[in-house]
Structure 1
Amino acid sequence: MSAQVTTEEPVREGVTPPSPGAPRDRWRSRWPVWSGCLAALWSLLYGAAGLYWAAGGAGYPFAKVADDRSSASLLEPSRAEIVGPVIAAVGAAGVVAGVLMARGVGKGRARTWLLAYGWISACAMAFAVPDYSLLGLLVFAPLLVVFAFTGVPGPQDGVGDVLYWHRGNLIIIFVGGLLWAAATLAYQWRTANRCTACGRAPHGAARWTTPEATRRWGRWAVYIAALSSIPYDFTRLAWYFGWPLGITRPFLEDMQNTPGMLEIGLGLGLLSTAGGFLTHGLISRWGEVWPRWVWWKAGKRIHPLTAVVPATTVALVLVPGGLMNARHVTAEMWGANGPGILWTVWGLALGAATLAYHLRRRGACARCGRA
């Protein structure tokens, strides 16, 4: 037996519901439907691509290619005739699961299977399959805009030599993972009779989501996130000053002979340190009210999304980068990839700290009125 769940939310007395005629409000209220539809559509298109590659079509993104056109994905290198049918099968299952989630169908064991498929798909696509490309894209995004007009320094002919197909495909897969996470979360809340705007149950918020609780575990999450970046920062600083910490002397000399290489490493280390410092804003007053050193906004309230959006973005791209480093670390060159393994810890801790910040500042729900 199956059950179809409505997307309508009960509204508490005294709480003004959003105007049903506003397009923006309609779009928000129906996100459990469109998120499932988008996940199903993504699965249909990528599954069809898998079928095409399995049949011998060109452009298989996990094939063995030259190093300057490859990625460090979990699936690379692999053969299209083996992985292609798997992609097609997973895509077909995703179409069915996405449609069922969009319709709010399923209870009991069927609901459990749909949730398992959704969360496994989301984690595999967003974290396991990609490499560090997303993190690199985020860090170097401003430079890529400049390079689009000035050209890329060094032997590369253009931005296409940086964002080539094998890397672009990983971005597509990552987006698919985010779609599946959204669809599954919406379905989980919807079929549990929770508010699809805030996730609260009819009997109120869980104890671990109260402001007092989030301050406690959110503080520990911030500390772990900040400490996780230190090994990476320290090794890059050591290399800049000529100490081959965790790498061979010839490798250090190669970097010293490559213009700008050590400076880029130092810059990334300092950027990482700055990120660790900014993480403390998630548990500090200056993370809720603009401090004096931001003089043009000093004393004004910080909108929660100002912190939640960038922190969530960084947390999401850190995890696959850390998992990739775990697959490539060696004893002789542990300094190159070893500290990066902690990016996974950093990303998970930063995600937890961001969740705590969001829960602490979200207030009463505008739709269901629960606090």
Structure 2
Amino acid sequence: MLKIDALPQVPRWAVLAAHAVPLVTLPSGLWRIAQVSGLPVAEQSGRNGREVVLAVSLTVISEGLALLALGLVRPWGEMAPRWLPLIGGRRVRTLAAVVPALLGAAALCTIGGWFACSQAAGLIARVTQTPAQQVLLVACYSPLLAWGPLLAATTVAYYRRRTTVL
């Protein structure tokens, strides 16, 4: 059985949701890396160094941001690690974690909804893609739609836990 280390008062569902966040961003990142590596995940006219840097950077940044969700269920989300400059060893203020996380969740839900409603059909129906490439694209990018709701739910659990008077 998978043992997930978290604070004892964190609900199990919140721990699972926080750990799911980096996993839902991973397939799209792997798809981008595969595309700029020349694997046949999509038809393309050519790659240049700028596209490679952009794809790798977007993947690293999105995965890094997704990993921050773990702070909502881990001790370092309540007490900053000592090695951090300026804030190391200090208690993390609840709203300092909650406000950016909820703004991020709102942005992710908005972008995901807009993309799903207005852009996805055109991207998927590109004539130059094979049916297998279309299925792979959808399979890799669909999990991103869960990022915003998972982050929002985990953030609300964090807020409730940190503000509840015992």
TM-score, with length taken from structure 2: 0.77
1:296 Cα offset (Å): 2.1
User: Quick check: which has more Rg, 1 or 2?
Assistant: 1
Question: Is 1:362 aligned to 2:135, yes or no?
Answer: no
Return the letter of the residue paired with 2:161: R
| Pairing of 1:200-211 with structure 2 (within 5 A) | none
Corresponding residue number in structure 2 for 1:220: 16
TM-score, with length taken from structure 1: 0.37
- Return closer, same or farther for 1:335/1:264 CA change in 2, 3 Å cut-off: farther
1:322 Cα offset (Å): 2.8
- Return closer, same or farther for 1:237/1:340 CA change in 2, 3 Å cut-off: same
1:334 Cα offset (Å): 4.6
Return the letter of the residue paired with 2:34: A
1:338 Cα offset (Å): 4.7
**Aligned partners of 1:274 and 1:231: how far apart in 2?**
14
Deviations 1:227-272 (A, max 9, x none): 1111011111212322232x12xx1x33x04x51232121111111
Gaps of 5+ in 2: 1-7, 126-130
Select which of 145, 150, 153 maps to 1:352: 153
- Return closer, same or farther for 1:300/1:356 CA change in 2, 3 Å cut-off: same
The question of whether the paired residues in 2 share the 8 Å contact of 1:233 and 1:269 is answered with yes
Moved over 3 A (4+): 329-338
Question: Is 1:266 aligned to 2:56, yes or no?
Answer: yes
**Aligned partners of 1:336 and 1:320: how far apart in 2?**
20
Return the letter of the residue paired with 1:235: W
**Aligned partners of 1:337 and 1:265: how far apart in 2?**
18
1:335 Cα offset (Å): 5.1
Return the letter of the residue paired with 2:63: T
Corresponding residue number in structure 2 for 1:233: 29
The question of whether the paired residues in 1 share the 8 Å contact of 2:18 and 2:70 is answered with yes
Identity value in percent: 28
Question: Is 1:282 aligned to 2:83, yes or no?
Answer: no
Whichever structure has more helix as a proportion of its residues is 2
Give the secondary-structure state (helix, strand or coil) at the position aligned to 2:11. helix
Gaps of 5+ in 1: 1-210, 365-370
Give the secondary-structure state (helix, strand or coil) at the position aligned to 1:296. coil
Return the letter of the residue paired with 1:350: L
**Aligned partners of 1:243 and 1:308: how far apart in 2?**
39
1:352 Cα offset (Å): 0.6
- Return closer, same or farther for 1:335/1:319 CA change in 2, 3 Å cut-off: farther
Corresponding residue number in structure 1 for 2:94: 304
